[in-house]
């Protein structure tokens, strides 16, 4: 139960943070953006798939292709058949396996070394922090042989909250996945114009692309560079337009959002666009397809956005955002971590596995980076 005192094993699993040793204040939004660091165009180094059994394989079996939407699709379809992936602590293992596989193949773009490694979702959180008005976050950071590794840390309460979503919230989450089903197909589109899916099972509505299984994901790993830091970023890609070229230029991100009914809704949507923008930009995804839905899950309209054009859409507005501030902040944070997280040697550190005690090698120093909106970040070494 929740009230039983932790056993020594559990205590080892949740090390107590020591007092902060370093801090970086929240960036001021009133100052004009200083000269922003360059962000290099991401290039793919490897891709992989998670199977329905959540097995990672270096194939494109989970890759999906953009399909045309049928008129007014209903997103609540097949909710009861959703194969849900249980919420566990998001670990970096899969990304590390992909990176070592790319290294073993002597991937040329890794020759210049790597400065930092993390999932795209983690880097999105870091980069959008200057505009985050509410949610804080915690990251685990390690520096091994001069490379920074990031993992989001969810405490017990956050993990429980993710598993115990209110029914309404869970349904809204499902709407997003159902939209992906309607918008994607197992097969590439042979012509330039995507086709509407042909239903495979009796009872399926027009355009349904198959029941939702959130274990299945196709991930792309890219390398890029922010300022002086070379980055390796992995993330899920919803589908590609046309055929697959091993490049990011046909990647498509799919989103659902409530229909906009007034100025207030529009403002909220334009604020949300920063997350859409950053998430897609970091992985080199050039196109974002948004399906606007009613509260009861019917898509009424769609709109396609070019990722690089989003900043101009909100520039100068009171609730607007400027990605240059985000990159300046991200760069500052990376430099702060390079300076303050000492590098340890990889010798003797075993890969994390089922047995979490393996992570407790004396060489493996884990640091906790804690962000609070309006305050900034604090960095401390874990006990």
- What are the residues binding ligand 0WD (CB under 6 A)? 85, 87-88, 90, 94, 119-121, 124, 176, 214, 217, 219, 234-236, 255, 279
Q: Which is nearer to ligand 0WD, 176 or 320 (CB)?
A: 176
Residue partners of 136: CB distance under 8 A and separation at least 6: 370, 371, 372, 373
Cβ–Cβ < 8 Å for 327, 103 = no
- Residue closer to ligand 0WD, measured from CB, 117 or 219: 219
Choose between 121 and 136: whose C-beta lies nearer to Ca ion: 121
How many chain residues bind Ca ion (CB under 5 A)? Answer: 2
Decide whether 65 or 367 has the Cβ nearer to Ca ion: 65
> Does an H or E element contain 71, and which?
none
Tell me how far apart the alpha carbons of residues 238 and 180 are, in angstroms, rounded to a whole number: 7
Nearest 5°: CA angle at 32, between 31 and 35?
125
**Shortest spacing between CB 101 and Ca ion, in angstroms:** 25
Looking at the DSSP assignment, which residues form a beta bridge with residue 4?
A: none
Helix (H, G, I), strand (E, B) or coil at 362: coil
Cβ distance to Ca ion smaller for residue 131 or 276: 276
Q: In angstroms, what is the minimal distance from the CB of 62 to ligand 0WD?
A: 10
Residue 97 Cβ, how far from ligand 0WD at the closest point, in Å? 11
Q: Give the binding range for Ca ion (CB under 5 A) out of 114-122, 232-240, 283-291, 370-378.
A: 232-240
**Which residue's CB is nearer to ligand 0WD, number 181 or number 344?**
181
Answer with the entry of ligand 0WD, Ca ion, none that 236 interacts with (C-beta below 5 to 8 A by kind): ligand 0WD
The secondary structure element, H or E, covering residue 327 is helix 323-340
Q: Is 66 in the site for Ca ion (CB under 5 A)?
A: no
| Least distance in angstroms from the C-beta of 5 to ligand 0WD | 27
Pick 254 or 278: Cβ nearer Ca ion: 254
In whole angstroms, how far apart are CA 61 and each of 49, 187, 217, 282? 6, 11, 9, 23
CB of residue 279 to Ca ion, shortest distance in Å: 8
Q: Which residues contact 123 (CB under 8 A, 6 or more apart)?
A: 150, 231, 233, 282, 330
Between CA 325 and CA 99 the distance in angstroms is: 29
Q: What count of other Cβ atoms lies within 10 Å of the Cβ of residue 320?
A: 17
Q: Does the protein bind Ca ion through residue 75 (CB under 5 A)?
A: no
Nearest distance in Å: CB 98, ligand 0WD: 10
Q: For residues 11 and 207, what is the distance between their CA atoms, to the nearest angstrom?
A: 50
Which candidate, 197, 224, 252, 257, places its Cα nearest to that of 327?
224
Residue nearest to ligand 0WD (CB): 121
By CB under 5 A, is residue 178 in contact with Ca ion?
no
**Residue 181 interface partner, choices Ca ion, ligand 0WD, none, CB cut-off 5-8 Å depending on type:** none
Interface positions, 247-286, toward Ca ion (CB under 5 A): 254
Cβ proximity to ligand 0WD: between 24 and 297 the closer is 297
Q: Which does 219 bind (CB under 5 to 8 A by kind): ligand 0WD, Ca ion, none?
A: ligand 0WD
Nearest CA to 305 out of 276, 267, 283 is that of 276
Residue 322 Cβ, how far from ligand 0WD at the closest point, in Å? 21
Identify any residues that bridge with 369 across adjacent strands, giving them in sequence order. Answer: 139, 379
Residue 19 structure tokens: 């007092």
Q: From ligand 0WD, Ca ion, none, which one binds at residue 169 (CB under 5 to 8 Å depending on kind)?
A: none
Please state, in angstroms and rounded to a whole number, the distance separating the CA atoms of residues 118 and 318. 32
In a 3-state reduction of DSSP, which class is residue 323? helix
Q: Between 120 and 230, name the residue whose CB sits nearer to ligand 0WD.
A: 120
Q: In this structure, what token pair is assigned to residue 286?
A: 């050039």
CA distance 309 to 273: 11
Q: Minimum CB separation from ligand 0WD for residue 3, in Å?
A: 25
Task: Name the residues that contact Ca ion, by CB under 5 A.
Answer: 238, 254
């Amino acid at each position: 139960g929740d009230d039983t005192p932790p056993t020594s094993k559990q205590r080892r699993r949740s090390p107590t943070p020591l007092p902060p040793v370093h801090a970086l204040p929240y960036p001021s939004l009133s100052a004009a953006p200083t000269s922003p660091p360059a962000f290099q165009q991401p290039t793919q180094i490897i891709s992989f798939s998670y199977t329905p059994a959540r097995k990672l394989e270096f194939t494109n079996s989970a890759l999906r292709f953009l399909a045309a939407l049928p008129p007014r699709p209903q997103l609540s379809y097949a909710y009861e058949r959703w194969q849900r992936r249980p919420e566990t602590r998001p670990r970096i293992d899969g990304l590390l396996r992909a990176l070592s596989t790319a290294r073993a193949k002597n991937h040329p773009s890794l020759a210049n070394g790597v400065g930092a490694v993390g999932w795209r979702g983690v880097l999105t959180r870091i980069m959008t922090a200057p505009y985050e008005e509410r949610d804080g976050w915690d990251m685990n950071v390690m520096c091994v042989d001069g490379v920074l590794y990031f993992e989001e840390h969810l405490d017990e309460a956050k993990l429980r909250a993710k598993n115990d979503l209110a029914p309404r919230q869970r349904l809204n989450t499902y709407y997003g996945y159902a939209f992906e089903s309607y918008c994607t197909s197992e097969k590439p589109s042979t012509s330039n114009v995507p086709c509407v899916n042909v239903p495979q099972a009796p009872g399926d509505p027009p355009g349904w692309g198959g029941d939702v299984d959130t274990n299945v994901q196709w991930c792309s790993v890219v390398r890029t560079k922010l300022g002086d830091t070379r980055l390796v970023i992995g993330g899920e890609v919803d589908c590609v337009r046309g055929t697959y070229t091993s490049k990011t230029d046909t990647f498509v991100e799919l989103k659902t959002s409530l229909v906009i009914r007034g100025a207030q809704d529009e403002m909220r949507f334009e604020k949300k666009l920063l997350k859409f923008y950053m998430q897609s930009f970091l992985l080199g995804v050039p196109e974002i397809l948004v399906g606007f839905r009613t509260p009861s899950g019917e898509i009424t309209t769609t709109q396609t956005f070019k990722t690089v054009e989003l900043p101009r859409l909100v520039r100068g507005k009171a609730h607007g955002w400027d990605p240059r501030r985000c990159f300046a902040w991200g760069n500052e944070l990376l430099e702060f971590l390079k300076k303050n997280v000492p590098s340890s040697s990889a010798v003797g550190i075993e890969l994390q596995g089922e047995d979490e005690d393996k992570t407790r090698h004396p060489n493996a120093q884990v640091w906790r980076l804690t962000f609070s909106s309006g305050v900034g970040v604090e960095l401390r070494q874990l006990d």
